[in-house]
């Protein structure tokens, strides 16, 4: 957890989100359930997990695009969970987002300058001042002021993602949500964008919530990491500790899934993955309140299938597991 709980830029408290018409009657399984973490000022926190773990749902709830069924989202101590429309806009002026697909998030009919200036209209600055800030933002991500007159199709994927970051930073927000910002890019473009984010983190002290699935990237960028599985927190702690010495069996599985250049270690990880695959073919019956990973976990016991483990302190981090690795 963040050390700056009382003054966190962003606080998530017992957040649950459900989808579908039956959610109002409490008859749908939450997409995310009882999520709690903080992002301190100047801190980068990573949300990691496989597809369907609830990472993007949390981002949507923070942005007001998904309605929280329980819990709270606090921005600088102000509850924005159910704020909407005109009431929400002045509160969230310090919150910006960078999305996964840089081309889909830019209008093909607007120049880059018009796109960035549009995001600055709430600042009520003059026309010249807004264009000046747009130019400054472009230069901060390694592009030029002349690029403001160009259109999205005239840029590469990596450049478009830099533009998305420039648009987010132009309004000088306190916290930036990054939903898989490099997953749609090739490796070379990924490296450039990752280094850019690291530079902004170190020089400008932005607070970042970074959503990703690559543990290597998360370890490089983030101070803290929150590991999710099927909408539940499995492990929370310092990024270096969680990604190199994981204690929850699911986090261990994530680490084992990452390729490494050591053949012996890669063979050991493959054996571990086969063990999980074997459990999936003959899974243990899981009660509704059991551990969500029990059917795949090599350490599972009947206790795991009946009782959901609570987060508890294990070796310097929080782990939701009855039998930590």
> Which tens digit of pLDDT belongs to each residue from 165-189?
999 988 888 899 999 888 777 777 8
Q: What is the mean pLDDT of the chain?
A: 84
- Distance CA(56)–CA(19), nearest Å, equals 13
Q: Examine the pLDDT at 322 and tell me if it is beyond 90.
A: yes
Q: Tell me phi and psi for residue 153, to 5 degrees.
A: -70, -10
For 202-224, write each residue's pLDDT tens digit.
Answer: 888 889 999 988 888 899 999 99
316 neighbors 224 (Cβ within 8 angstroms): no
What are the structural domains, with CATH classification, of the chain?
Answer: 5-244 (3.40.50.300), 246-325 (no CATH)
321 neighbors 307 (Cβ within 8 angstroms): no
What residues contact residue 82 under an 8 Å CB cut-off, 6+ apart? Answer: 67, 68
Q: Tell me phi and psi for residue 226, to 5 degrees.
A: -120, 120
Q: Quick one: which of 309, 287, 305 has its CA closest to 296?
A: 305
pTM metric for this prediction: 0.85
114 burial class (0-12, 13-18, 19+ CB within 10 angstroms)? middle
Which residue has tokens 């200036």?
117
For 112-142, write each residue's pLDDT tens digit.
Answer: 999 999 888 877 778 899 999 999 999 988 8
Q: How many CB atoms lie within 10 A of CB 103?
A: 14
Q: Within a 13 Å sphere around the CA of 48, how many CA atoms are in the beta-carbon half?
A: 29
48 neighbors 26 (Cβ within 8 angstroms): no
Token digits of residue 90? 């002045």
């Amino acid at each position: 957890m963040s050390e700056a709980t009382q003054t966190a830029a962003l606080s998530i408290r017992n957040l649950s989100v459900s989808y579908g018409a039956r959610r109002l009657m409490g008859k749908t399984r939450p997409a995310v359930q009882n999520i709690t973490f903080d992002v301190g000022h100047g801190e980068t926190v990573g949300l990691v997990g496989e597809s369907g773990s609830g990472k993007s749902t949390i981002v949507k709830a923070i942005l007001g695009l998904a309605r929280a069924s329980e819990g709270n989202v606090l921005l600088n101590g102000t509850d924005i969970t159910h704020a909407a429309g005109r009431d929400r806009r002045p509160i969230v002026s310090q919150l910006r987002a960078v999305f996964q697909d840089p081309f889909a998030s830019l209008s093909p009919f607007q120049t880059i300058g018009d796109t960035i200036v549009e995001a600055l209209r709430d600042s009520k600055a003059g026309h010249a001042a807004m264009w000046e800030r747009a130019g400054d933002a472009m230069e901060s991500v390694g592009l030029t002021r002349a690029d403001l007159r160009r259109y999205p199709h005239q840029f590469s994927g990596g450049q478009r993602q830099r533009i998305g970051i420039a648009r987010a930073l132009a309004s000088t927000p306190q916290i930036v949500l990054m939903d898989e910002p490099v997953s749609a890019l090739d490796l070379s473009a990924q490296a450039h964008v990752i280094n850019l984010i690291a530079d902004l983190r170190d020089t400008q002290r932005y607070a970042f919530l970074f959503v990703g699935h690559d543990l290597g990237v998360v370890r490089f960028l983030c101070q803290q990491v929150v590991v999710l599985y099927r909408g539940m927190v499995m492990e929370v702690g310092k990024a270096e500790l969680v990604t190199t010495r994981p204690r929850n069996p699911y986090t261990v599985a994530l680490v084992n899934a990452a390729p490494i250049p050591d053949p012996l270690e890669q063979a050991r990880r493959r054996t571990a993955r086969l063990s999980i695959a074997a459990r999936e073919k003959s899974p243990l019956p899981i009660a509704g309140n059991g551990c969500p990973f029990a059917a795949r976990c090599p350490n599972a016991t009947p206790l795991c299938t009946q009782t959901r483990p609570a987060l508890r302190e294990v070796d310097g981090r929080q782990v939701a597991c009855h039998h930590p690795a």
